[in-house]
Amino acid sequence: MESPLQTATAGELSVSEISQTPRHQQLIVTIFGLYARETGALMPVSSLVRLLGELGVEAAGVRSSVSRLKRRGILESTKAGGIASYAIVPGRVDMFTEGDTRIFSPSHPSAEDKWLLVVFSIPETMRVKRHILRSELTRMGFGSVSSGVWIAPERTWIRAKQQLDRLGLELYIDYFRAEHLSPLELSRNIGTWWDLVALDTMYADFIAKYESLKIKWDSRQGNLSAETLRDAFVDYVPMITEWRRLPYKDPGISAELLPADWKGMLAEELFGDLHRLLGTPAHDYVLGVMSQK
């Protein structure tokens, strides 16, 4: 079961992924993740159609994408005060909360922190389960030491166990807390266990795409006109939608173990600045739309 605020297909990194226009389903998940939980995890159909319309999505596209999200068990149809609405499926709300932590409160470990090893052996007759496990480990930011040994910073332990137990994989897995004891530099293996080149390229693409947006909004601070609120929403939601995949793909390795020219910290700083500039006016715009009957 994937995290709704991530929603990218588990698997290898795609260098071009960050430059693609967000799909309609991804935009909808972002809107629900950011705004619907303030109103009982639901949103009127008319409000969602209008908000997506501001992002260039036609009403038919909204309903088609919502239907797919309903089939995936993320949204459901409901009524609130007689108003047709869509709501986050109750069992998914906690996963949106987890997404908040990954996206808005990233952790920065030290080089002395320990590691979590996931060791598993699944027979060939159960290769579908093996594929699910490897895909889920990749999605959670684990690196592959070998086919049956995967590694991540120790702080991922609780979340990883909860998610893999939820998928019914607990019988095939052993977990170990590990410390690096080799005389060789640990950084020499980091680039082998994780595809840091692809991830760094995605960070660089994000910076190239959005650094001009920061300049634009630096000059618009203090302008709280209705047009400004709308423009903030139109810029903010696609930006968040593209960014939110990166914290899931990034294993959160200590900066001392990463390449000297690593773009992740610069990209994170840019994201933080854009969130500070756009988050509040975009929020105010959405609440205004949702308050209209």
The β-bridge partners of 80 are 83
Q: In this model, does residue 231 exceed pLDDT 70?
A: yes
pLDDT at 281: 96
How far, in Å, are 51, 69, 286 from residue 4 at the CA level? Answer: 19, 10, 20
Position 220 confidence tier, pLDDT thresholds 50, 70, 90? confident
Rg (CA), the chain: 20
pLDDT at 183: 64
Give me the long-range contacts of 91-100 (CB less than 8 A, separation at least 24).
92/4, 93/37, 93/41, 95/1, 95/3, 95/4, 95/5, 96/4, 96/5, 96/32, 96/33, 96/37, 98/3, 98/5, 98/159, 99/3, 99/4, 99/5, 99/6, 99/33, 99/244, 100/5, 100/33
Six-digit token string for 59? 């009403």
pLDDT at 97: 83
| Average pLDDT taken over every residue of the chain | 88
Ordered by where they begin, the domains of the chain are 17-93 (1.10.10.10), 115-178 (3.30.70), 195-290 (no CATH)
Position 94 confidence tier, pLDDT thresholds 50, 70, 90? confident
Beta strands 143-146 and 42-44, pairing class: unpaired
For the entire predicted model, the pTM comes to 0.84
